């Protein structure tokens, strides 16, 4: 039977899919709001450190007066525009003296709002760009049921905000509202400078058609950069130009390679499969069955340019998600042409079930211990009712858990320290040390844990003994945090620390981890 005959059968998969999309129509605003609020408030797992240390932590430090600023903030490498989103809800919590539950909930509301705006504009962008109502509806539902979106969009990553502002910018660009498009694009580039790659691909054609828009872009760029300067001056208390610092660190000095170098094909063979997950077969089929277009050109150029940057992460191509989902939708439409209604129903049902299972596992179980631990520490400290501050030390890879954005206790109550992982910056690198040979504090610890402990801690294990800090970089804490992978695999560490510390809490974290140092349970050891 030919494709034409299949299409016109009463049980055609395509006819069924189109009828369903007509009945469903555009997701209502209330559905999107409810969906993303549930999404945001049910994320109970840790993903990557930037979610907390580059967004919530600086905002918490600004509002409450305590918190840890990583080396990026000390060097003025980041704009405060993104953390500024969380200052308002934190101010609300502080002003009304709300309890700890509201402190944790406040950023989730912001994250949900970011995703809600993105989902709302996604329909308008796809309908306007591709002139196809049914395609826009399908892309919206694919977004709502995407396991990756459920896992990542409602987190406080700059990439999540970048995705939303990119959707909004592109919508207004295709709606011929060049002013709003340029404003949102400029803000996006200040938050995520690499987002400029999209606009270097898209805008030249716009400027070629109407050179007057170049003047508009220059004016908008000047005004938005001025706003960014004022925001950063307010935060840093001095003149800072994060955009220049960003390019000096990542381009001129190429220091981003310190955090890992991936293969050239990383985005093609790893990132796209990860962010599409169960949508991958539909995406590949959609790419194969559609002709060359400016959208394919944008996808290919963006990924190729990012592939040339040594340091790569899955979420760096997150702004492409609207168009990735578009090709997933094209794949579904082309499959629907070839199959009957029953087969199409089964395919979609299986995909939804897989999405639900993946979303549930990765937001409820995978790396749950790392997000739970700060609250456990907080409760232990408050229950102790000590006159002197308790101390907690992290013998883990740096930034393995949230910090004061979740512990929320000042230094007069608890003193928390951790192993650092600063890159080779001018103030901490010795002559003759190269990027390849440089080791941070975490590297030294994991190279020989027991030797590190004996070299960096007093010989007498007691938190009340305070020798000169010039002699011992670390004090023995009341609690030590450590992964069970090290505790169980290193007899020397277990035998030495086991004389003085016992396991107080063992938090299940993950069945497996890409970083073997983070495998197993997260242990909270207490001084005996």
Domain range summary for the chain, segments of one domain joined by +? 3-364, 368-527
Strands 414-418 and 390-394: parallel
Which residues, at least 6 apart from 225, have a Cβ–Cβ distance to it below 8 Å? 186, 190, 243
Residue 305 has pLDDT above 70, yes or no: yes
Rounded Cα distance between 470 and 393, Å, is 18
What's the sign of the alpha-carbon dihedral 236, 92, 110, 413? Answer: positive
What's the pLDDT score for residue 386?
Answer: 86
What's the pLDDT score for residue 243?
Answer: 87
What's the pLDDT score for residue 108?
Answer: 98
Residues 12-56: tens digit of each pLDDT: 889 999 999 999 999 999 999 999 999 999 999 999 999 999 999
Question: How does residue 1 score in pLDDT terms, banded at 50, 70 and 90?
Answer: very low
Task: Render the burial of 365-382: b for 16+ CB within 10 Å, e for the rest.
Answer: ebbbbbbbbbebbbebbe
Rounded Cα distance between 340 and 337, Å, is 8
Nearest to 42 by CA among 151, 158, 156: 151
* DSSP-assigned letters across all residues of 366-394: TTHHHHHHHHHHHHHHHHH--SSPEEEEE
What's the pLDDT score for residue 5?
Answer: 53
Would you say 449 and 486 are in contact if contact means Cβ atoms under 8 Å apart?
A: yes
Kindly report the average pLDDT of the chain as a whole number.
Answer: 92
Which residues, at least 6 apart from 361, have a Cβ–Cβ distance to it below 8 Å? none
What's the pLDDT score for residue 38?
Answer: 99
- Dihedral pair phi/psi, residue 503, rounded to 5°: -70, 115
Percentage, residues of the chain above pLDDT 90:
82
Would you say 453 and 444 are in contact if contact means Cβ atoms under 8 Å apart?
A: no
Rounded Cα distance between 118 and 52, Å, is 21
Would you say 8 and 121 are in contact if contact means Cβ atoms under 8 Å apart?
A: no
Instruction: Report the pLDDT averaged over residues 327-337.
Output: 97
Question: How does residue 63 score in pLDDT terms, banded at 50, 70 and 90?
Answer: very high
Can you give the pTM of this predicted structure?
Answer: 0.94
């Amino acid at each position: 039977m030919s494709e034409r005959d299949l299409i016109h059968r009463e049980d055609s998969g395509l006819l069924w899919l189109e009828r369903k999309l007509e009945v469903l129509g555009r997701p209502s605003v209330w559905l999107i709001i409810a969906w993303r609020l549930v999404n945001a408030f049910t994320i109970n797992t840790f993903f990557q450190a930037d979610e907390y240390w580059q967004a919530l932590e600086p905002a918490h430090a600004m509002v409450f007066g305590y918190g840890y600023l990583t080396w990026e903030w000390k060097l003025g490498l980041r704009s405060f525009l993104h953390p500024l989103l969380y200052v308002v809800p934190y101010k609300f919590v502080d002003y009304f003296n709300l309890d700890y539950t509201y402190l944790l909930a406040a950023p989730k509301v912001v994250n949900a709002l970011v995703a809600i705006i993105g989902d709302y504009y996604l329909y308008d962008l796809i309908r306007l760009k591709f002139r196809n109502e049914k395609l826009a509806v399908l892309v919206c539902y694919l977004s709502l049921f995407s396991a990756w979106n459920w896992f990542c969009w409602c987190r406080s990553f700059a990439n999540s905000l970048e995705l939303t502002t990119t959707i909004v910018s592109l919508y207004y660009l295709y709606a011929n509202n060049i002013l709003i498009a340029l404003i949102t694009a400029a803000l996006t580039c200040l938050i995520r400078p690499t987002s400029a790659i999209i606009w270097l691909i898209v805008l030249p054609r716009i400027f070629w058609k109407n050179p007057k828009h170049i003047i508009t872009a220059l004016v908008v760029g000047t005004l938005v950069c001025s706003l960014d300067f004022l925001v950063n001056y307010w935060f840093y208390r001095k003149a800072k130009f994060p955009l220049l610092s960003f390019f000096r660190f990542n381009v001129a000095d190429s220091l981003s390679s310190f955090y890992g170098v991936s293969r050239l094909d990383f985005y093609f063979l790893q990132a796209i499969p990860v962010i599409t997950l169960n949508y991958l077969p539909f995406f590949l089929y959609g790419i194969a069955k559609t002709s060359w277009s400016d959208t394919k050109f944008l996808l290919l150029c963006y990924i190729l340019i990012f592939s040339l940057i040594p340091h790569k992460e899955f979420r760096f191509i997150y702004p492409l998600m609207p168009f990735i989902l578009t090709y997933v939708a094209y794949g579904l439409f082309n499959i629907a042409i070839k199959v009957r209604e029953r087969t199409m129903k089964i395919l979609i049902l299986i995909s939804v079930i897989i999405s639900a299972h993946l979303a549930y596992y990765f937001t409820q179980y995978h790396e749950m211990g790392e997000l739970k631990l700060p609250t456990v520490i907080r409760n232990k400290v408050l229950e102790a009712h000590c006159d002197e501050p308790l101390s907690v030390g992290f013998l883990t890879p740096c930034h393995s858990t949230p910090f004061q954005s979740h512990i929320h206790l000042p230094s007069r109550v608890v003193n928390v320290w951790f192993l650092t992982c600063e890159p080779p910056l001018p103030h901490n690198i010795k002559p003759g040390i190269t990027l390849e040979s440089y080791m941070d504090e975490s590297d030294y610890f994991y190279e020989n844990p027991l030797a590190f402990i004996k070299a960096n801690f007093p010989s007498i294990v007691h938190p009340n003994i305070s020798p000169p800090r010039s002699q011992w970089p670390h004090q023995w804490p009341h609690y030590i945090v450590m992964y069970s992978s090290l505790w169980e695999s290193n007899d020397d560490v277990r035998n030495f620390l086991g004389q003085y510390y016992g396991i107080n809490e063992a938090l299940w974290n993950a069945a497996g981890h890409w970083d073997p140092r983070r495998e197993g349970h997260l242990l909270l050891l207490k001084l005996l």
